[in-house]
């Protein structure tokens, strides 16, 4: 399809690359008011936003030079949305679409304008981003605090729960311009935390929630910053809105509330599984009230078969009785039960049967290993030890996608910009026939260098550089690497070829702290491991990307992904030990796991791992939906 740069009349515009959108989706695409879109699993949330961006840009409703800002919770979601917009819009339009994560957006503000913050809250320019702060981080901080007698006692500090400390006292409200009013020990402890992390020690350390709060203060204390952002962006998209934290919501409100920027928030309150990570209990309610946003549901499900959608509806109504009944827009392709609970007596029997099932289903339906996914609640490594030998016996590699490579999980590494750049270059430099790798690589390099499509001289220079580097690389590394030092050297060579400055310019998350170094280190380690048993570079890069491995991951890491068949291992009290602490979030996690599947879901229970009395409510939901339990000897 040829993408045109001319303007299209709104009444003549049609959805691009899809046959049609459901009526409510088209209504949102053409809307001129703030919208709160409740979009269930498989409803095409990303596609909706991509089509809305195309409509606004191509019809001139988002008038130049103003831009569209899309903010997503996860990095891969932000990247996916940007790719879809570029594939549906001419570059003259697509360049005015900015797709960032909430964290990257907040960080970009602090990086650009942070030195304008009040001195009390001003981070040092070379601040470090702490991406691995856990409850223990805050526990350890509180453990050694003793407040002034006029504020409280040591016992008052001990009484502060870690999660409450973060959610309520540290990040629960906007920062004041001056010193906060302190009336209790928790407020004093929160201020001590801020001041120690900002100003004490060799450098400033900030978590992303802290960065969001500093960005919010930046906007409120410097009105011109907010004014500039409102002038820049005519439209704002917020994806995965159910995972929005209070700090993130307050930042958006500080910038865009009361402005002419039209806001479209898309999410699903039934998939809220990030309250442990400080997500608001219900961000939809304040957004609808304060931004006068109209709630619009999407009911079509383009992912799952009719039978799976029917079961999903039972689970959805347990989370929200008002939820709309979804309509499947795809066909069932498997015979037998599309969902069942398999009841095993031993982990060994379970592992052997699941491996055999995947192998036979691949053959019967002509599927790839990555059409399947093994999901677990937690402790993926423990399940990996039991399952991996059985899968290996059938020559089916099983890969723990949440395993740490250096300081980065494998799943995180594979969606990192730097990792993707390295793979694109290596595919070109090591392929016998360049083919599509050449076009992909050329486009990538021209984009990173900021070259226009009609900059023929600039593009010719890139072509020459690629040809020269490719020849040198093939001569130096004709076969997969065997030395750890070589893997590090190759990664650094490729970074130098792209230009570190170009990578940092394209990826804001790399500009501060040591995240860039952690990702490059992880890439080298994973590249070395991927080369060990590979006969050639193609096999090594396939291993790097896990092209022929069955992925194993946790429920939280599966969000936003989809597979032909999902196998959930460990539906028992031991895996779901915290179920009674927050039944709503646990049930939402159960719902998320179920809705990753297109055609089949298998729940696997093994009596030797634990009872299932504490999670009886989940089994009751499956029973109500007509899901059978099958005992397997």
41 is in an annotated binding site: yes
326 is in an annotated binding site: no
- The whole-angstrom separation of Cα 513 and Cα 506 is 16
137 is in an annotated binding site: no
What is the model's pLDDT at position 272?
Answer: 78
What is the model's pLDDT at position 570?
Answer: 94
Per-residue pLDDT for 129 more than 90?
Answer: no
> Which pLDDT band holds residue 230 (cuts at 50, 70, 90)?
very high
What is the model's pLDDT at position 288?
Answer: 97
45 is in an annotated binding site: yes
> CA-CA distances (angstroms) from residue 308 to 25, 233, 373, 603?
22, 40, 16, 13
Among positive and negative, which fits the CA dihedral 105, 107, 108, 113?
positive
- The whole-angstrom separation of Cα 520 and Cα 321 is 47
183 is in an annotated binding site: no
Q: Which tens digits make up the pLDDT trace of 92-111?
A: 898 899 998 899 899 999 99
Instruction: Tell me the HSE value of 625 on the side-chain side, using a 13 A CA sphere.
Output: 28
> Which pLDDT band holds residue 3 (cuts at 50, 70, 90)?
low
What is the model's pLDDT at position 513?
Answer: 66
- The whole-angstrom separation of Cα 479 and Cα 168 is 55
> CA-CA distances (angstroms) from residue 603 to 103, 116, 629?
35, 54, 9
- The whole-angstrom separation of Cα 326 and Cα 435 is 42
* Residues forming a β-bridge with 534: none
Q: Across the chain, what does the average pLDDT equal? A: 92
Q: Which tens digits make up the pLDDT trace of 477-531?
A: 999 998 889 999 999 999 999 999 998 887 766 776 678 999 999 999 999 999 9
172 is in an annotated binding site: no
- The whole-angstrom separation of Cα 372 and Cα 396 is 11
- The whole-angstrom separation of Cα 570 and Cα 604 is 6
Among positive and negative, which fits the CA dihedral 79, 102, 28, 92?
negative
Instruction: Tell me the HSE value of 408 on the side-chain side, using a 13 A CA sphere.
Output: 22
> What's the distance, CA 632 to chain centroid?
36
What is the model's pLDDT at position 90?
Answer: 87
Q: Which tens digits make up the pLDDT trace of 147-199?
A: 999 999 999 999 999 999 999 999 999 999 999 999 999 999 999 999 999 99
User: Rounded mean pLDDT of 253-260?
Assistant: 97
Q: What is the pTM of this model?
A: 0.84
Helix/strand/coil for 426: helix
What is the model's pLDDT at position 494?
Answer: 97
- The whole-angstrom separation of Cα 423 and Cα 406 is 18
Angle at 100 between CA 107 and CA 498, to 5 degrees: 85
What is the model's pLDDT at position 239?
Answer: 93
Per-residue pLDDT for 6 more than 80?
Answer: no
- The whole-angstrom separation of Cα 259 and Cα 226 is 10
- Sequence-distant (6+) residues with CB within 8 A of 201 are none
> Which pLDDT band holds residue 2 (cuts at 50, 70, 90)?
low
What is the model's pLDDT at position 5?
Answer: 66
Q: Which tens digits make up the pLDDT trace of 552-581?
A: 999 988 888 899 999 999 999 999 998 888
SS (H, E, C) 280-304: CCCCHHHHHHHCCCEEEEECEECCC
What is the model's pLDDT at position 133?
Answer: 86
What is the model's pLDDT at position 559?
Answer: 82
What is the model's pLDDT at position 87?
Answer: 87
> Which pLDDT band holds residue 585 (cuts at 50, 70, 90)?
confident
- The whole-angstrom separation of Cα 489 and Cα 504 is 20
389 is in an annotated binding site: no
- Angle between helix 380-393 and 347-365 (nearest 10): 60
What is the model's pLDDT at position 60?
Answer: 95
Least confident window among 28-42, 71-85, 95-109, 311-325? 71-85
406 is in an annotated binding site: no
Spatial CA neighbour of 372 closest among 386, 356, 350, 385? 356
User: Rounded mean pLDDT of 41-61?
Assistant: 95
- The whole-angstrom separation of Cα 593 and Cα 615 is 15
What is the model's pLDDT at position 492?
Answer: 97
Are the C-beta atoms of residues 569 and 350 closer than 8 Å to each other? Answer: yes
> Which pLDDT band holds residue 451 (cuts at 50, 70, 90)?
confident
DSSP 475-542: HH-SS---SHHHHHHHHHHHHHHH-HHHHHHH-GGGSSTTHHHHHHHHHHHHHHHHHTT-SSHHHHHH
**Checking phi first, is residue 118 left (phi over 0); if not, alpha (psi -120 to 50) or beta?**
beta
- The whole-angstrom separation of Cα 549 and Cα 25 is 36
> Which pLDDT band holds residue 454 (cuts at 50, 70, 90)?
confident
DSSP 390-415: HHHHTT--EEETT-EETTEEHHHHHH
End-to-end CA distance of the chain: 55
DSSP 179-192: PPP--SHHHHHHHH
């Amino acid at each position: 399809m040829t993408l045109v740069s001319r303007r299209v009349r709104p009444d003549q515009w049609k959805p691009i690359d899809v046959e049609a959108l459901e009526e409510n989706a088209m209504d949102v695409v053409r809307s001129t008011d703030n919208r709160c879109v409740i979009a269930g699993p498989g409803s095409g949330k990303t596609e909706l936003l991509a089509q809305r961006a195309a409509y606004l840009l191509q019809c001139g409703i988002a008038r130049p030079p103003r831009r569209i800002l899309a903010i997503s919770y996860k990095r891969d979601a932000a990247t996916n949305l940007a790719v879809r917009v570029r594939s549906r819009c001419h570059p003259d339009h697509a360049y005015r679409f900015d797709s960032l994560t909430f964290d990257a957006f907040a960080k970009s503000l602090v990086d650009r304008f942070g030195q304008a913050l009040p001195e009390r809250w001003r981070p040092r320019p070379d601040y470090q981003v702490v991406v691995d702060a856990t409850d223990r981080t805050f526990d350890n901080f509180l453990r050694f605090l003793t407040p002034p007698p006029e504020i409280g006692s040591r016992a008052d500090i001990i009484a502060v729960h870690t999660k409450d400390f973060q959610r309520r006292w540290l990040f629960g409200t906007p920062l004041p311009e001056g010193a906060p009013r302190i009336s209790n020990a928790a407020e004093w402890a929160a201020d001590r935390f801020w001041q120690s992390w900002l100003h004490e020690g060799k450098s400033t350390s900030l978590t992303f929630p802290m960065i969001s709060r500093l960005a919010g203060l930046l906007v409120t204390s410097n009105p011109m910053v907010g004014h500039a952002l409102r002038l820049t962006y005519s439209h704002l998209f917020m994806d995965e809105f159910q995972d929005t934290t209070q700090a993130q919501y307050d930042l958006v409100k500080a910038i865009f509330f009361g402005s002419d920027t039209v806001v479209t928030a898309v999410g699903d309150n039934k998939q809220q599984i990030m309250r442990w990570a400080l997500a608001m209990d219900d961000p939809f309610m304040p957004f609808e009230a304060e931004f006068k946003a109209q709630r619009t549901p999407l009911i079509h499900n383009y992912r799952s078969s009719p039978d799976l959608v029917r079961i999903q509806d039972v689970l959805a109504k347990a989370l929200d009785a008002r939820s709309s009944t979804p309509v499947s827009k795809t066909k069932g392709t498997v015979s037998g039960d599309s969902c069942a609970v398999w009841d095993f007596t031993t982990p060994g029997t379970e592992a052997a049967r699941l491996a055999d099932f995947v192998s036979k289903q691949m053959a019967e339906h002509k599927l790839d290993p990555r059409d399947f996914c093994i999901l677990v609640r937690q402790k993926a490594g423990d399940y990996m030890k039991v399952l991996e030998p059985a899968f290996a016996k059938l020559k089916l590699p099983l890969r723990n996608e949440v395993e740490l490579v250096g300081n980065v999980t494998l799943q995180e590494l594979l969606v990192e910009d730097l990792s993707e750049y390295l793979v694109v270059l290596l595919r070109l430099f090591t392929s016998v026939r360049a083919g599509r790798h050449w076009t992909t690589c050329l486009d990538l390099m021209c984009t990173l260098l900021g070259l226009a499509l009609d900059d023929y001289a600039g593009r010719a220079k890139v072509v020459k550089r690629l040809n020269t580097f490719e020849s040198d690389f093939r001569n130096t590394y004709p076969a997969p690497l065997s030395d750890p030092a070589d893997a590090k050297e190759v990664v650094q060579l490729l970074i130098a070829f792209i230009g570190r400055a170009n990578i940092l310019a394209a990826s804001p998350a790399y500009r501060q702290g040591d995240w860039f170094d952690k990702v490059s280190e992880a890439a080298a380690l994973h590249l070395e491991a991927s080369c060990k048993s590979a006969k050639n570079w193609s096999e090594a890069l396939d291993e790097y990307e896990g092209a022929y491995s069955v992925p194993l991951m946790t429920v939280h890491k599966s969000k936003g992904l989809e597979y032909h068949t999902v196998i959930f291992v460990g539906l028992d009290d031991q895996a779901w030990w915290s179920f009674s602490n927050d039944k709503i979030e646990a049930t939402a996690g159960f719902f998320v796991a179920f809705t990753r599947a297109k055609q089949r879901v298998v729940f696997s229970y093994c009596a030797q791992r634990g009872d299932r009395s504490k999670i009886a409510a989940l089994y009751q939901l499956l029973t109500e939906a007509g899901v059978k339990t099958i005992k397997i000897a």
